């Protein structure tokens, strides 16, 4: 069997069947490029068409979302849900509300989710969804009406044993509340486990808000420890200033590091004293303002609308904003400044060219499907609590999260050593470890 030819044929078919979806092509190529050692050892996966089936979603949903704005005008958006793979459990993955959302982006995110969810060791499959709706500048009433319309179509495809969405960019506790309320109203069921990311007071889990950011830092901490290093006294740059970025910064500070820069879509902020998290949370979570408002409130900070946050010298970089935000030039700048480790808090924030630079320079690099698995892991913990009608303390839940992230790191490292001979190749380790768990389940369940 010519494994290389087989992988090339699978990728060619992905491109043919999914034209005009570059993010999905990129995600598929990144995974397929790593899997040759696993396929060579397990030819039965070729015989069973595992790769071909993995790259084709089990179900793709696309629907109209009409709603009425505060001026009485009818608006129409497009909704998506890609239920990619259920070999390990119900589809699990967030909803993203952002103008950039299209089918290709949802498919890339859902494909990544298959392997990420598998790496957690929990019984959850992979899916993703969202809409090309922009919540920025919209009133709570407008967001409520949009969410109700969105759920009126999506509800028939959901269930705690079928498909369990959560939040993502543009979808926080407010949106989850409106979505859950409409689901409950339509179904006449208080099915708490059908959505995760709920507030703690009515079925949510402690640490869910913090989980993705905390988890990325835990993963980076594990990588650093393999070289006898840690966060203490380190300069850290975090891109973004949403949930993931804010709580990644919080955990860095708790471990003795100093986050000196963060960003949003308008530019980036540098505060050599260390980012004041109370002020940042006030600006982004309460006022919902641009990050420049932080610099206006703190004399030691400076805001720049030009360049990128990666121009700031640092020891550790945590890209936590969005896909393909960190390109070749950014990676070269980080390596030039002596960066030790990069852990992806967002989904695929580093371009393939950037990842190549990091790997060739010997920088510790944690890919998103491993490094940001803490969010979905804690969503699975929320599902456990909902199923048991139970609620765990913050400390209990964070302890479980930390254990999951240590387990993800150990699995990636061991698999990279076993299949590539280099324990620090976390890209290969994450892709192969996630693939093997899903492939075993798919093989056992037959051709479906």
**Catalytic (active site) residue 92:** no
Q: Is 259 left (phi over 0), alpha (psi -120 to 50) or beta?
A: beta
Closest CA to 262 of 241, 281, 248: 241
Burial 235-261 (b: 16+ CB within 10 A, else e): bbbbbbbbbbbbbbbbbbbebebbbbb
* CB-based burial label for 373 (10 Å; 0-12, 13-18, 19+): buried
- Three-state secondary-structure class, residue 328: helix
Interstrand relation of 163-167 and 91-97 (parallel, antiparallel or unpaired): parallel
How many helices (H) and strands (E) the chain has is answered by 18, 12
What is the DSSP-derived secondary structure letter of residue 94? Answer: E
d(CA 178, CA 273): 39
The first and second tokens of residue 87, run together, are 């070999």
Choose, from 107, 116, 128, 198, the residue flagged as catalytic: 128
Helices assigned H by DSSP within 55-139:
103-119
* CB-based burial label for 121 (10 Å; 0-12, 13-18, 19+): middle
The residues carrying an active-site annotation are: 128
């Amino acid at each position: 069997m010519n494994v290389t030819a087989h992988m090339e044929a699978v990728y060619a078919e992905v491109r043919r069947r999914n034209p005009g979806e570059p993010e999905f092509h990129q995600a598929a190529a990144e995974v397929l490029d790593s899997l040759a050692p696993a396929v060579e050892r397990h030819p039965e996966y070729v015989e069973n068409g595992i790769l071909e089936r993995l790259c084709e979603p089990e179900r793709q949903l696309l629907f109209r979302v009409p709603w009425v704005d505060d001026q009485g005008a009818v608006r129409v958006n497009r909704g998506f849900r890609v239920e990619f793979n259920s070999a390990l459990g119900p589809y699990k993955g967030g909803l993203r509300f952002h103008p950039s959302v299209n089918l290709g982006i949802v498919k890339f995110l859902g494909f990544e989710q298959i392997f990420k969810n598998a790496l957690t060791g929990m019984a959850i499959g992979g899916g993703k969804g969202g809409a090309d709706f922009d919540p920025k500048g919209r009133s709570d009433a407008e967001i409520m009406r949009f969410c109700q319309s969105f759920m009126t179509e999506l509800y028939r495809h959901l269930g705690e044993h079928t498909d369990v969405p959560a939040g993502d960019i543009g979808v926080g506790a407010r949106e989850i509340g409106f979505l859950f309320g409409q689901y409950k109203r339509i179904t006449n069921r208080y099915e708490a486990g059908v959505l995760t990311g709920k507030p703690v007071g009515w079925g949510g889990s402690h640490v869910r808000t913090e989980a993705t950011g905390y988890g990325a830092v835990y993963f980076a901490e594990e990588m650093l420890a393999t070289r006898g290093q840690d966060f203490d006294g380190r300069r850290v740059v975090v891109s973004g200033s949403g949930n993931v970025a804010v709580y990644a910064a919080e955990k860095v500070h708790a471990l003795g590091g100093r986050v000196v820069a963060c960003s949003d879509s308008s530019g980036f902020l540098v505060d050599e004293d260390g980012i004041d998290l109370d002020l940042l949370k006030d600006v982004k979570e309460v006022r919902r303002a641009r990050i420049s408002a932080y610099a206006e409130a703190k004399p030691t900070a400076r805001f720049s609308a030009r360049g990128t946050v990666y121009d700031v010298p640092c020891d550790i970089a945590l890209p936590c904003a969005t896909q393909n935000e960190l390109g070749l030039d950014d990676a070269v700048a980080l390596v030039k400044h002596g960066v030790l480790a990069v852990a992806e808090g967002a989904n695929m924030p580093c371009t393939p060219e950037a990842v190549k630079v990091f790997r060739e320079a010997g920088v510790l690099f944690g890919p998103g499907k491993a490094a940001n698995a803490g969010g979905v892991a804690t969503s699975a913990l929320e599902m456990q609590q909902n199923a048991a009608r139970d609620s765990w303390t913050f400390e209990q839940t964070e302890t479980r999260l930390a254990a999951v992230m240590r387990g993800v790191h150990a699995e990636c490292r061991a698999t990279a050593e076993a299949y590539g001979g280099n324990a620090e190749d976390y890209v290969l380790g994450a892709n192969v470890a996630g693939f093997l768990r899903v492939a075993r389940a798919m093989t056992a369940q037959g051709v479906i």
